[in-house]
Amino acid sequence: MKYIFVTGGVVSSLGKGLTAASLGTLLEARKLRVVLQKFDPYLNVDPGTMNPFQHGEVYVLNDGAETDLDLGHYERFTNCVLTRHNNLTSGQVYETVILKERRGDYLGKTVQVIPHVTDVIKNRIRELSDESKYDVVITEIGGTTGDIEGLPFLEAIRQFILEVGPENVLNMHVTLVPYIKAAHELKTKPTQQSVAKLREIGLQPQVLICRSEKPLDRDVRRKLSMFCSVSEKAVIEERDVEHTIYEVPLTLHAEGLDQLVCDLLHLQTPAPDLADWRKFVERVVNPKRRIKIAVVGKYMDVRDAYKSIYESLTHAAASEDCGIDLKLIDAESLEHGVDSQLKDIGGVLIPGGFGARGVEGKLNAARFAREHKIPFLGLCLGMQVATIEFARNVCGIKDANSTEFDKKTPEPVISLLEEQRGVRNKGASMRLGTWPTKVVQGTLAEKIYGDTEVTERHRHRYEFNMKYRDRMDAKGFVISGTSPDGSLAELIELRDHPYFVGCQYHPEFQSKPNKPHPLFKGFIQASLGRQSSRATHAQADQESLRRVPERELVPQR
Ligand code: GLN
């Protein structure tokens, strides 16, 4: 078993997670079995309670763990399927230690950061290696070297290296090499100092990943090598990619990273097979056509807030040899009408969310998509909003609402399940993780999935209120997927619309570059269909727009 630790220096937001994930891609392409994990030094037990403005999206795993968005990169860039064991926060570490102390497990000893806290951290690395399913464990340490919170993690790594032997471990430091315009020079000093910080605690990186705007010339490489004590060929340049994050594995490969890592860890492998990955990147970079998709949400200035959704759109579009022009619309700006903003749009997507802010605008967007037969995909809150809109404007249930936005609404078309009513804690208290969905035969959903049983990841409290099912069905609102016992609505669609689909779950957590999610793929196909039919039959009656042609829906399995 080999171990790679990825630390970050100088500043945050260097793309450490992407770099770690990209190394995973390269090692998998060399037929190694890879797993990734993330250590986050903050004190929250998990990021589930954090605001997307602060922390970006919360990524949900099969087992219901609410984790850091870097785990999304790991799952998208490699074949590993992660569990709650793959994301450890200081909050969890201290929770474990304190619970043990209260139980009396430390037998009267003074409980300390070394060894008790560091032991919990080391055990988490061992848990993965004990499974012996992997050849390489890649562990990313969140935060920046020099942060007080990060120290116990770095100390745990130092001890761990002692235990497993330095020949089995590689420390990779992702750092910034800034370009100073006035001097026309790349500066190595911040990197030198950040490596010095690592050395202070007893860690010496063997590989430097240098994020920079300009190419690193020979002099800069020599300087970094000498001052930071890494070999010159282990100074790896990672410039900002031109088009897509999926280029990162290819640029790192061009810099020789995977060969270097295998040499340093004494791993014998075949040359990497990156043909499929290259093909995918080629399609993202040079698509034959383009489609405009509107995403109507709350956190439009924070690119990370809907990360998995944007990635899923990219995957689905690439599979149709198509590029996406994203139009990000702040839902609040649609509160007083949508016409001009949603004109010329191929499809409308409403993501998940919490709280009432922006809901009125989302309702308007859903209505516009329904009435103008624009392909629509509603995810979680997006589905709930579409439900409320249909109840109000088609079924005439004027006061229809979710009890999330109006506790006392007389028409709770979306409401809390009995078991959620008494829940007061905010942390990990939703319906979380993978649940099965039975897809109703003969629906568009069945065609899209090509299957009647699927499993999808959830993160929500509120549900469709089945009391309204028959009334809404009579008007064309179809529940096209339910929980196996039929009690919970999981998927909805409209009968008289080319593609109006909502799901109570989050398909965006299961889409990969070469395996786009069927709901996204169907959405893109329908949007392309609308675009081309608008181009060729500009005068055609809206009603004549057909559903997505069957042959275009390619089931995944
Ligand atoms: N706020 C809604 C609920 O709790 C939707 C959640 C979501 O979109 N993830 O059910």
Dist. CA 380 → ligand 1 center (Å): 6
> Is 353 close to ligand 1, i.e. is its CB under 6 Å away?
yes
Q: Contact, 142 vs 9, CB < 8 A?
A: no
> Is 383 close to ligand 1, i.e. is its CB under 6 Å away?
no
Six token digits for residue 141: 């340490």
Q: How confident is the model at residue 397 (pLDDT cuts 50, 70, 90)?
A: very high
Q: Which phi-psi region, left, alpha or beta, contains residue 217 (left: φ > 0; alpha: ψ -120 to 50)?
A: beta
Ligand 1 atom with the smallest distance to the CA of 379 is: 8
Q: Contact, 245 vs 18, CB < 8 A?
A: yes
pLDDT digits (tens, 9 = 90+) for 329-371: 999 999 888 878 888 899 999 999 999 899 999 999 999 999 9
Q: How confident is the model at residue 417 (pLDDT cuts 50, 70, 90)?
A: confident
pLDDT digits (tens, 9 = 90+) for 71-117: 999 999 999 999 999 999 999 999 999 999 999 999 889 999 999 99
Measured CA distances, 333 to 293, 328, 330, 358, 372 (Å):
17, 11, 6, 8, 19
pTM strictly above 0.85: yes
Measured CA distances, 295 to 62, 307, 330, 348 (Å):
25, 12, 8, 6
pLDDT, residue 123, reads 94
Six token digits for residue 253: 């490969």
Ligand 1 atom with the smallest distance to the CA of 506 is: 9
pLDDT, residue 379, reads 97
Six token digits for residue 74: 């790991």
> Is 381 close to ligand 1, i.e. is its CB under 6 Å away?
yes
pLDDT, residue 310, reads 95
pLDDT, residue 540, reads 45
Q: Contact, 200 vs 194, CB < 8 A?
A: no
Dist. CA 340 → ligand 1 center (Å): 28
* Coil vs helix vs strand at 104: coil
Q: Which amino acids are annotated catalytic?
A: 380, 506, 508
- Tell me the longest C-alpha to C-alpha distance in the chain: 82
Mean pLDDT of the chain: 91
| Sheet of strand 207-212: strand arrangement | 87-89, 34-40, 136-141, 2-8, 169-176, 207-212, 235-239
Whether the pLDDT of residue 498 is over 90: the answer is yes
Q: Contact, 112 vs 152, CB < 8 A?
A: no
Q: Contact, 4 vs 137, CB < 8 A?
A: yes
> Is 404 close to ligand 1, i.e. is its CB under 6 Å away?
yes
The type of residue at 47 is P
Q: How confident is the model at residue 428 (pLDDT cuts 50, 70, 90)?
A: low
Q: Contact, 230 vs 257, CB < 8 A?
A: no
